[in-house]
Chains A and B, each alone.
Chain A
């Protein structure tokens, strides 16, 4: 309010309660405008979140009847690769033989699959290190030192339960939400 001191009329306004009430109105007006400006920011930020058509594609159904034991397929969910793998009894045994306490991200195969469907290992095909797609799902691809997946970007090795065993990745391959609609159809998401 320094500018008010320059006025030609050195009358009221600067003294006593009148002065305080007047300042209050200015502060209230500016604060109110500030609240409005902050409220406007919300839609401007929120618009970058996934739009309704993107969210609508958040669940898919996959027919797994053609995947034989020992085989895996890659499919796409939310524009990310998903590995669906039919484990052989040998692979299951290998996974169960590992002492959980020695793992970087301790989880049993049981925790990573559905009850009674332990041979179906469904994970995101996104390396937990920096997001490359690991090898091992396709026919003839390198499966890494532990027979599961191998990420060629920075050398992370995953075992037959897709758990991190060696290399820089911090976590096991992520298991998405999924449910068996029937013996041959699984819904992911």
Chain B
């Protein structure tokens, strides 16, 4: 049986697969695929340089705090960050009392239970709470946003191709649809509730421009709050929310690599030493 497999069965099975493929190739229709608007007008994110980039990158805590302010005053009206706890904010330089105050004064309260009646209620957030969602549930979020769901932002820079650069480009990329687009693809014109943004996958995003004017927030550290500055700061903040252990990872990595380089050099010398009297 095994002796037969080589000379006979193998080529027959092989020919079966190959015939199916050859027929598929022969029946291929080589008509050009119709171009799509997204294919022509979608843009890759603009480069964005942050302090956390690169193998030695560290967070710019001042920038993260500004970014948090943008998130708090602008984004958090619609977007949750449910994996970030208020206590985590101590990592970006807020003190313990500041964190407690931020939690206590957060615009949305935390779902709770009335201790007397057992009815659903809300209470002020504590440092150990996670940042509450502005909407009770997905249905409520969609109902308030023309059936579009504002995504949770905790992991957004890891959940999108391009990461922070994508967020920054998207926030600063709102514009009027180019005339050429409307000429070539009349259907691509954003409908009533959508907005043209060439950095968004299908060009038309439901989110209205969130950063509309310079000075929309007032930075405590005196940085001028241009739209681009705010977009950069919030992108940096969202890098931290997605990867809070980044600095730890970089630091550990350098130490581990230095150790391994020495260990491997020693291992190589030991290897050469043991084989020294062997021709191989």
Judge whether A56 and B266 touch: CB under 8 Å. Answer: no
> Roughly how many angstroms separate A56 CA and B125 CA in the complex, as a whole number?
13
Q: Which residues of A contact B269 (CB under 8 A)?
A: 25, 29
Q: Which residues of A contact B260 (CB under 8 A)?
A: 36
Contact of A29 among B85, B267, B276 (CB under 8 A): B267
Across the interface, name the chain A residue whose C-beta is closest to B262: A32
Is A26 interfacial (CB 8 A cutoff)?
Answer: yes
Instruction: Enumerate chain A residues within 8 angstroms of B262, measured Cβ to Cβ.
Output: 32
User: Residue B128 contacts which of A13, A26, A32, A57 (CB distance < 8 angstroms)?
Assistant: A57
Q: Check B277–A12 contact: CB distance below 8 A.
A: yes
Chain A residues in 8 Å Cβ range of B278 = 7
Nearest Cβ distance between residue A162 and chain B, in whole angstroms?
26
Residue of B nearest to A21 (CB): B273
Chain A nearest CB: distance from B240 CB in Å? 15
Give the docked Cα–Cα distance between A11 and B277 (Å).
Answer: 8
B274 contacts partner chain A, Cβ-Cβ < 8 Å: yes
Contact A25 B270 (CB under 8 A): yes
A4 close to B (CB within 8 Å): yes
User: Are A13 and B276 in touch, CB under 8 angstroms?
Assistant: yes
Complex Cα–Cα for A25 and B271 (A): 9
Interface hits, A1-52 → B, CB 8 Å: 4, 7, 9, 11-13, 22, 25-26, 28-30, 32-33, 36, 39, 52
B residues contacting the other copy or chain, number (CB 8 A): 17
Q: With A and B bound together, what is the CA distance between A32 and B128 in angstroms?
A: 42
Judge whether A53 is part of the interface by a CB distance below 8 angstroms.
Answer: yes
With the chains together, A39 CA to B85 CA distance in Å?
Answer: 31
Q: How large is the interface on A (under 10, 10 to 19, 20 to 34, 35 or more residues)?
A: 20 to 34
* A29 in contact with B270 (CB, 8 Å): yes
In the complex, whether B213 has a CB less than 8 A from a CB of chain A is: no
CB of A67 to closest CB in B, whole Å: 14
Asked if B276 contacts A22 (CB within 8 A), the reply is: yes
B277 in contact with A9 (CB, 8 Å):
yes
B266 to A28, Cβ gap below 8 A?
yes
Alpha-carbon separation in the docked complex, A55 to B200 (Å): 40
CB <8 Å contact, A22 and B128: no
Task: State which of A9, A11, A13, A33 has its C-beta within 8 Å of the C-beta of B263.
Answer: A33
Contacts of A56 in B (CB 8 A): 85, 87, 127-128
Cβ contact within 8 Å between A32 and B263: yes
Q: Which residues of A contact B30 (CB under 8 A)?
A: none
Q: In the complex, which residues of chain A have a beta carbon less than 8 angstroms from the beta carbon of B270?
A: 25-26, 28-30
Cα of A26 to Cα of B267 in the assembled complex, Å: 8
Which of B87, B266, B267, B277 makes the CB contact (< 8 A) with A13? B277
Residue with the highest number of chain B CB atoms closer than 10 Å, among A25, A36, A39, A53? A25
Q: Does B259 touch A at the CB level, under 8 Å?
A: yes
B266 adjacent to A36 (CB under 8 Å): no
Which of A7, A26, A39 is within 8 Å of B273, CB to CB?
Answer: A26
Q: Closest B-chain residue to A56, C-beta based? A: B128
Looking at the assembled complex, report how far the CB atom of A163 sits from the nearest CB atom of chain B, in whole angstroms.
32
- Enumerate chain A residues within 8 angstroms of B274, measured Cβ to Cβ: 4, 26
Name B87's closest neighbour in chain A (CB-CB).
Answer: A56
**Cβ contacts under 8 Å, A33 to chain B:** 263, 267
B240-268 interface bits toward A, Cβ cutoff 8 Å, 1 = contact, 0 = none: 00000000000000000001101100110
Q: How far, in whole Å, are A21 and B269 apart by their CA atoms in the complex?
A: 11
Q: List 18 A-B contacts (CB under 8 A).
A: A4-B274, A4-B277, A11-B277, A13-B276, A25-B266, A25-B270, A25-B273, A26-B270, A26-B273, A29-B267, A32-B262, A32-B263, A33-B263, A36-B259, A39-B259, A53-B128, A56-B85, A57-B128
Top 4 A-B residue pairs of the complex, sorted by shortest distance between their CB atoms: A29-B270, A29-B266, A56-B128, A22-B273
